Amino acid sequence: MNRKKLFIAAIGAVILLVFVVLAMRQGRRGGTEVRTEEVQRRDLVSVVTASGRIRPYRRVEIQADVSGRIIDLRILEGAWVTEGDTLLIIDQSTYLAAEQRAQAALSSTQATAAQARANRDQARRMLDRTLRIRNQNPELISDQQLEDAETSFEVQEALYQAAEHSVDQARANLREARDRLSKTVITAPLTGRVTRLNVEQGETAIIGTMNNPGTVLATVADLSEMEAVVEVDETDVPQIELGDSADIEIDAFPDETFTGVVTEIAHSSIQGGALGFSGTTSDQSVDFEVVIRIDDPPESLRTDLSCTSDIVAEVRDSVLSIPIIALTLRTPEPEDEETAGDTGNEEIELVEQEEPEELEGVFVLNEDNTVSFRPVTVGVAGREHFEVIEGIEEGEVIVAGSYQAIRMLEEGDLVRPSDENGNSPRGER
């Protein structure tokens, strides 16, 4: 009885095994469903995408050069001003008094200099008379008298020179006082619009120092020329050059695309290459500032609007290309491990081999609907395709999707190919 049961169980196992084998063969016959594409030539455009903000090409942040209370504010935010227009006036009483003191000091030193000049001229006349008498009758003028006359003249000459220097100093003090007084009246440095007003009448303007930036009173900008300032990743900066064209999308203008030209590329990162706690440069990715001058900006364009730019870094005309999704990485099959025998102990020693590096490549469709992995070298990256430098020929059919299918494919796998329209690339059904 037990033998009969064992016999029936064995037959059942064989039948199950047959069904499994048939199912596996059927699966292999069907293969993995993939989308294929023929390698062809295209015009590729390499684009660097970055985001940033809009700012005027010319803008001035107005700060006070003298401290004081604002007694006359003549502008509003958004107002249009012309170069030289008075924007605001700071209390002048202290600076008027300083100018008057400087003027009085100048007058006093001028009077002192005039007296010193008169004393010098008198000493010169006395010296000239002494010399004339000494020449006519040496016995009438002693050597001591002559020396006293010469010394008196030299002293008066020195006093006069000192008085003249005091006059120069007083004039400089007066110029400084007048300059400080003139700086209480702040005028527009350029023709444009007041894009920001940070003070009100009655507030106190504070000048900047080494550790204190001071009060920014207002910002005046020329909005006829605008530029986009974007932050580009360090890996993309080497691709960009001055003069590269760019398309700019501004969030506030969703239906418009603006054009521009790269005019500036920063030579240092936005972070400034800050050092970490260990004293070495931080491993954090850094960005570089790139400035794009906008062509024909509309009058409604405002400063600080957010934007995204596509900078055309490189253009390739009619080059072999493959879809970006088709490019994948595979590790080449390792070579047979070499062995070395020791004749004495007959031990087998495995020779260590370096782990092979992964290769970039695509899966090429064979005639029997199997695939082969082909390493390729790529160049410029467009929006959806890579330029192929070597490794594949025009007209070959490659696997272009799906991503999941490409990720799971291996050398020699059977596939069920179809193009983007669902048709077989070779007209099969």
Last residue of a domain, one of 183, 209, 229: 183
Q: Label the pairing between strands 348-350 and 306-323.
A: unpaired
For residue 271, tell me if it sits in a domain: no
Asked if the structure places residue 70 within a domain, the reply is: no
Beta-carbon count within 10 A of 107 CB: 13
DSSP state of 201: T
Kindly state whether residues 120 and 39 are assigned to the same domain: no
State how many domains the chain has. Answer: 2
**Cβ neighbours of 415 (radius 10 Å):** 21
Residue 230 included in any domain: no
Residue in 362, 422, 403, 419 with CA at minimum distance from that of residue 386? 362
Mark whether 35 and 100 lie in a shared domain: no
Average pLDDT, the chain: 85
Tell me which residue of 248, 406, 220, 239 sits closest to 322, measured CA to CA: 406
Do 60 and 219 form a contact (C-beta atoms < 8 A)? yes
Reading the block at residue 155, the tokens are: 């002293």
Domain annotation covers residue 392: yes
Q: Between the CA atoms of 250, 253, 257 and 262, what dihedral angle is there, to the nearest 10 degrees?
A: -30
* Tokens (6 digits) for 297: 């900006």
Burial 197-216 (b: 16+ CB within 10 A, else e): bebeeeeebeeeeeeeeebb
The packing angle between helices 143-182 and 93-136, to 10°, is 160
**Sign of torsion over alpha carbons 198, 204, 210, 212:** negative
Give, in order, the Cα–Cα distances in Å from 237 to each of 28, 55, 234, 290.
48, 21, 5, 9
Out of 142, 159, 183, a domain closes at: 183
Tokens of 279: 């004293």
Residue 343, CA distances (Å) to 336, 339, 346, 348, 349 in order:
22, 13, 5, 10, 12
* DSSP string computed for 285-345: --EEEEEEEESS--TT--TT-EEEEEEEEEEEEEEEEEEGGG-EEEPPPPPPPPEEE-TTT
Same domain, residue pair 414 and 354: yes
The answer to whether residue 79 is domain-embedded is: no
* Coil vs helix vs strand at 233: strand
Regarding whether 413 and 324 lie in a shared domain, the answer is yes
| Same structural domain, 108 and 36 | no
Residue 34 and residue 99 in one domain: no
In this structure, the number of other CB atoms found within 10 A of the CB of residue 264 comes to 13
Same domain? 39 vs 108: no
pLDDT of residue 23: 45
Low-confidence ranges of the chain (pLDDT < 50): 1, 20-28, 273-280, 337-341, 343-344, 346-351, 429
This prediction's pTM: 0.65
Among the candidates 123, 156, 183, a domain finishes at 183
Structural domain containing residue 177? 92-183
Residue 146 structure tokens: 């002559």
Q: Are residues 350 and 414 in the same domain?
A: yes
Distance CA 100, CA 181 (A): 11
CA neighbor of 134 nearest in space, from 121, 147, 123: 147
Query: Cβ distance 46 to 378 under 8 Å?
Result: no
Q: Domain of 353: which CATH number?
A: 2.40.420.20
Q: Among 284, 293, 292, which residue's Cα sits nearest to residue 233?
A: 284
Check residue 299 and give its pLDDT: 86
Give a yes or no: residue 50 inside a domain. no
Say yes or no: 35 and 101 in one domain: no
Residue closest to 321 by CA, chosen among 40, 112, 58? 40
Let me know if residue 292 belongs to a domain.
no
CA dihedral of residues 28, 30, 35, 36 (deg, nearest 10): 70
Confirm whether 375 is domain-assigned.
yes
pLDDT of residue 278: 45
Q: Position of tokens 């006059």?
A: 167
- Here the tokens at position 338 are 């070499």
